[in-house]
Structure 1
Amino acid sequence: MQSSSPITTYNDLEAVFNRSCISGEINQSLLELKYLKHLDLSINCFEGKVIPKFMGSFKNLRYLNLSTSGFGGKLPHELGNLSTLGYLDLNNFREIWVNTSDDISHYSIIVLTYDLHVDRLDWLSRLSSLQYLDMTWVNLSTAADWVLSINMLPSILNLHLSYCQLPNISTSLPHVNLTSLSTLDLSRNRLGPQIPTWVFNNSRLVSLDLHYNSFEYPIPVALGNLCNLQTLNLQDNHFNGEINIFKESFKGCIKSIMEDLNLGRNGLSGHLPDWLGQFINLKSLSLSYNSLSGPIPPSLGRLSSLRELYLSENSLFGPIPHSLGRLCSLRGLYLYGNSLSGPIPPSLERLSSLRILSNSFRLSSIFFSGPIPPSLGRLSSLRKLFLYDNSLSGPIPPSLGRLSSLSTLSLYSNKLNGSIPSRKP
């Protein structure tokens, strides 16, 4: 949501949102639009009103978006009459944000979520043309038939069932019809401990989000054969033990196509393995908040496409390898909360893409020693630099004055001397 007038406080944002809302009853006169194909009532304020049953009477409707509109009550089974529907968005929760004029800060508003729920989902099976379905934050806890109903959608490409309180999941299906599925989001449903095998029977999957589900090892080896999978989110599960438990699952073609891999908050232990360097197209790697130890392997320097590297809050030790300086596309480097030591390698001067709008360069509380390399003054895109709580010594290099985009510089709790350099044009 964008606003034409300046927004300076959270109250301003809330006022703008409330002014833009449609509320009240949905009039049945809408049915006079006999040839309606596209209906979008998203981001409104219906304050818990039930979706009217006559919504299922638009025989030509192909697109229906009722997301973030404050609907409540039971979903009408009549929606199953929309046999030509290709897109159905019932997402019951979303954070709306607005950029402020400085293009750095933003405000957000959490839209009130009403109790939108179902008693069963068999009516879904009649939507034979459906390609996109989002039921995020719709309560499906009583829909024991949800897997079988979803499996009756042969055309489905994108399926989002996050925060749905899904009941126990079938670990296998006698026949899998979801052969076209490219995006599957089952996150935040506590479906564990076993990942259902049918999830890995679809070779067309591009994005798979299973975070916060209490899943445990083992990961099916079939994961490695998902040759189109670009995004895999397994954060906040219970894959405890050596990180090498993933080695067999990542042996196949998956390692040459993966772009976003998130294994954070899983209790993984052991040393970072060299085989992580085989994900040649990886753009984001998250291993934060685990129990990983040992040095950062130089093999991570082979990830030439990497933009975000999250290794914070582990037990890593030793120096930062010079090879990280080869990650010329890196925008965010998160290493705090470890026991890394030694000097800051001058090779990091080649990380010219680091900037705060995407992420920040955070090297605080890592026990670095020695001087600040003058070469950091070449990081021309840098907006925030955190080097506090280390053992850095010597003068503050005047080259930091060349960082014309820098808005925050934090150097406290070191052994530095000299003055903060003036900014140079």
Structure 2
Amino acid sequence: MGNLRHLDLSNAAFCGLIPQQLGNLSGLHYLDLGGNSYLYVDNLRWMSGLSSIQYLSLNSINLYKEVDWLQIMSKLSSLSELYLSSCGLDSLNPSLRFVNFTSLRVLDLSQNLFYHEIPNWFLNLSMSLLKLYLSENSLIGNIPPSIFNLQKLEYLEVQLNSLSGKFPESLGQLKHLSYLNLEGNSLGGPIPLSVGNLSEMQNLNLARNKLNGTIPKTLGLLSNLVSLSISLNFFTGGLEEVHFAKLWKLKELEMSHTLLFFNVNSNWVPPFQLERVDMSSCKIGPKFPPWLQTQRSLQFLVMPMSGITGNAPSWFWNWSSNINTIDLSENQIKGDVPDILLNSVVLNLRSNHFKGRLPRLSTNVEVLNIANNSFSGPISTFLCKKLNRKNDLKVLDASNNLFSGELSNCWRYWQSLIHLNLGSNSLSGKIPYSMGFLVKLKSLRLQNNSISGDFSLSLKKCLDLGLIDIGDNHLSGTIPLWIREMTHLIILRLRSNGFKGNIPLKICQLSSLRVLDLANNSLSGPIPNCLKNISAMAVPEPNTQDAYFDSLEYNFGYGSYIANLMLVPKGNQLEYEENLKFVRIIDLSSNNLSGSIPVEISFLFELRFLNLSQNHLMGSIPEKIGGMKELESIDLSRNRISGEIPPSLSNLTFLNYLDLSYNNLSGRIPSSTQLQSFEALNYIGNPQLCGEPLPKICTINEEAHNRTSMGKTEDNSQNSSFSMGMGVGFAVSFWTVCGGLFFNKTWRHAYFKFLNDIKDWLYVTTILKVNWILEKLRSNHLN
């Protein structure tokens, strides 16, 4: 194929060694092998035959074995574009002073393993290079002057490295630069005034660094700027009208998590029409920025935690009806939401002071988060309103409000719901049968209300549920056996209700379960010994563990909605959200459970929190509990557990909460840094327990008993054999002696004569000793 000029084998799922015969294609101008991540090379010497190559892409191919890749490729004199992203390269050969890439215009070395500084040989590319990609390489040190000598450079990506030092003053030399991304480094100092020389700049991303000082006014000279991101830095001061003087083309402005604020006139009309603005955690308040009203192209308005107080301006709701995403959460905005038709796809008003009843929804609305406000009235008014029946709502979070009345029977109109949270209101009545229409539902939270009745049979139809939280209500009856059919269930929280009866064995079939919270009910009977079958608590998660939590998250434009959960892992109530994926908890506390702690619970090697307190459990603590290496918290207090504390408990290096108080435990507390670090209160109420940190010192008998018990624990099988042998030996010896005395008359007479002689000897010896003592006392008295 000597006349071949163009060969594209990208993303073709090839594997194995790249054949060196490709080097015979001397007429090849274009070669793309990228995206075949199972291809590799032993060396690249064969590439010297590609004398006419202009475009070369080896993205995602393993080049780790070839240490001379740079010298080999720099000899390809016609090479114009070189793509080596994600190739496992670990060196840019910083010691080299000269690299002969005379024609190179595009160089992509992103996502490799360069744990060193940017080399100075880039200086040799100053006459040709237009685009340079060095992102995600763990590069360190300062940005060298050689980068800023690339006079023709138009595109520079160096984000997500570990570059430090001050932001270089010489930035303004790159007058042709239109795209600069330095996000995610550790660059410090202020933005230099020379930024105003970058007249071709269209996209400037300096987010997630350590930049400080005020924003230079020369920034307002970048008349071609379309996107500006300066979020997550230490900038201070105000942004004045001059900062935006010539930013006519600006479409995206991201300045979140800084101390910047707008210092403009109330009647200021910006020269730009933004499409996206993110001012999270900035000092925007106390009033709504009036200039926002002039923005007619806005699609994303994100201003949470911005210090906005008072009533929303009268123009806001009509103006915002065409905005795709609105996030005003965690401010102090007051007032009613007027009875208008909400039209935004995502509307997040969480944690404000809104009140009144909920308005109407258009079919565009997918996410409505109004949690932590003061909305009131019957929830049925909103759910059953005819104008709301045609909706495409995926997420409804109305938790922590003042809604009242019964849960309506109108759920057949809300069949698009994926996440529903009506927790912490004043809702009453039973779970309605129409909730069975919510077949797409993945998380259901009705916690902390006054809902009564049984665990509704209608929920049996919601087979995609990954989270059920109906805790802190007045529900009764038993936990249904059909719960086993919810095979996607990750979290089951039924605490603080009136459930009774046994914990059903069917619950052990929920292999994906990570949170089992049945605390504070009236459950009785034993703890199921099949809990070890819940594999999510027993075996390590695969690399795709986050996939299990897709059922707890809903992604949209600028972020995602994540279901949260209140748990009591260490005696205190905590809220879990993104970190919920790491929780493994069993809480069966405050019930009427009896029997012993099943030894099978020791096989839950991934369990982090175990609470069995305030029950009627007996028996001993499982000896192999120390094998549950991930345990952070154990609460077995206020039961009737006896025996010694297993020595293996001292192996739990992550344990930071332990409560064994008010049981019948005995013996010495095993010695370890971990167990002695807890207070005496964690062991109080066990009268036979001794050793630090308790004030009771172990006696010699307790020490010996403890050593014996330690020996038993350390080699149980050996002691079992020893005990068995001792028992057999005792039986043999007993019947050898007693049998001989029973059947042999001569032995029997001799044995009893021996006992008689011993008795006479003891009698005479005792009398003589007593007489000697009396004589001694008489003699002392006379003296």
Using the size of structure 1 for normalisation, the TM-score is: 0.68
Aligned residue identity for 2:52: S
Report the equivalent of 2:9: 66
Give the direction of change, closer, same or farther, for the CA distance of 1:382–1:145 in structure 2 (3 Å limit): same
Q: What is the CA-CA distance between 1:169 and the residue it aligns to? A: 0.9
Where do 1:20-419 residues align within 5 Å?
A: 58-92=1-35, 113-114=37-38, 116-171=39-94, 173-200=96-123, 201-240=125-164, 242=166, 245-253=167-175, 254=177, 255-288=198-231, 290-295=232-237, 297-298=239-240, 300-301=243-244, 302-312=246-256, 314-319=257-262, 326=270, 328-338=272-282, 340-355=284-299, 360-373=300-313, 374=315, 377-378=318-319, 382-396=323-337, 401=341, 406-417=344-355
Residues in 2 aligned to 1:342 and 1:125: alpha-carbon distance in whole angstroms: 66
Q: Distance in 2 between matches of 1:321 and 1:263?
A: 23
Q: Equivalents in 2 of 1:203, 1:329: separation in Å?
A: 37
AA partner of residue 388 (structure 1): S
Residue 166 of structure 1 deviates from its aligned partner by: 0.9
Change (3 A) 1:251 1:175: closer
Can you list the C-alpha shifts for 1:218-243, whole angstroms capped at 9, x where unaligned?
3234544545433322211223355x
Deviation of 1:321 (Å): 5.5
Q: Distance in 1 between matches of 2:283 and 2:298?
A: 23
Write out per-residue CA displacement over residues 253-278 of structure 1, whole angstroms, 9 at most, x where no aligned residue: 24122323333344444444444444
- Given the superposition, is the C-alpha separation of residues 217 and 151 from structure 1 closer, same or farther in structure 2, using an over 3 Å criterion? same
Determine helix, strand or coil for the equivalent of 1:64.
Answer: strand
Q: Name whichever of 366-375 and 126-135 sits farther off.
A: 366-375
Flag the 1:370–1:129 CA change in 2: closer, same or farther, 3 A.
farther
TM-score (norm 2): 0.39
The answer (yes or no) to whether the contact 1:171–1:196 under 8 Å persists in 2 is yes
Q: Note the C-alpha offset of 1:337.
A: 4.5
Q: Which residue number corresponds to residue 9 of structure 1?
A: none
Alpha-carbon distance in structure 1 between the residues aligned to 2:115 and 2:248: 35
Take 1:206 and 1:327, find their aligned partners in 2: how far apart are those partners? 31
Distance verdict in 2 for CA 1:68–1:420, change over 3 Å: same
Name the SS of the counterpart of 1:347 in structure 2.
helix
Aligned residue identity for 2:8? N
Aligned residue type for 1:336: S
Going from structure 1 to structure 2, the CA distance change for 1:287 and 1:68 (only over 3 Å counts) comes to farther
Say whether the 8 Å CA contact 2:142–2:165 is kept in structure 1.
Answer: no
Could you give the per-residue CA deviations for residues 274-323 of structure 1, whole angstroms, max 9, x where no partner exists?
444444323233334x43231453355243323333333x3324347679
* Maintained 8 Å contact 1:222/1:249: no
Query: For residues 297 and 271 of structure 1, what CA distance do their matches in structure 2 show?
Result: 9
1:236 maps to amino acid: L
Tell me the distance in 1 between the aligned counterparts of 2:116 and 2:239. Answer: 31
Change (3 A) 1:163 1:234: same
For 1:294, what is the secondary structure of its paired residue?
strand
Aligned counterparts of 1:350 and 1:407: Cα–Cα separation in 2: 21
Provide the rounded CA distance (Å) in 2 between the counterparts of 1:213 and 1:294: 30
Specify the alignment match of 1:54 in structure 2.
none
1:75 maps to a residue whose letter is: I
Match of 1:8 in 2: none
The letter of the residue matching 1:232 is L
Structure 2 residue matching 1:326: 3-state secondary structure: coil
Distance 1:118-1:396 versus aligned 2 partners, 3 A rule: same
Segments of structure 2 that go 5 or more residues without pairing to the other structure are 178-197, 364-783
Q: Rate the CA distance shift 1:276–1:132 in 2: closer, same or farther, 3 A.
A: farther
Aligned length: 337
- The alignment partner of 1:256 has SS state of coil
CA distance in 2, matches of 1:153, 1:330: 45
Native 8 Å contact 1:239 1:267 kept in 2: no
Cα shift readout 1:144-195 (whole Å, capped 9, x = no counterpart): 1111122122333322211112121123655443343332221121324321
1:414: how far off? 1.2
Aligned to 2:187: none
Q: Offset of 1:363 from its aligned partner? A: 1.5
Tell me the CA shift for residue 364 of structure 1. 1.8
Match of residue 740 from structure 2: none
Find the residue that maps to 2:163 and give its secondary structure: coil
**Contact 2:212-2:236 at 8 Å conserved across structures:** no
Higher helix share: 2
Whichever residue aligns with residue 74 of structure 1, its letter is L
Deviation of 1:381 (Å): 5.2
Query: Structure 1: how far apart are the matches of 2:47 and 2:225?
Result: 36
TM-align CA RMSD: 3.3
What is the distance in 2 between the residues matched to 1:315 and 1:81? 57
CA positional deviation for 1:424 = 9.3
Aligned-partner SS, 2:162: coil
Is the CA contact (8 Å cut-off) linking 2:134 and 2:157 kept in structure 1? yes
> Residue 328 of structure 1 contacts residue 350 of structure 1 at CA under 8 Å; is this kept in 2?
no
Any gaps of 5 or more consecutive residues in structure 1? Answer: 1-57, 94-112
Q: Which has the higher contact order (CA 8 A, sep 6+)?
A: 1
Distance 2:115 2:263 in 1: 36
> Conserved in 2, the CA contact under 8 Å of 1:151 and 1:177?
yes
Identity between Structure 1 and Structure 2 (%): 34
Displaced runs of 4 or more, over 6 A: 322-325
CA distance in 1, matches of 2:85, 2:69: 13
Aligned 8 A contact 1:71 1:92 in 2: no
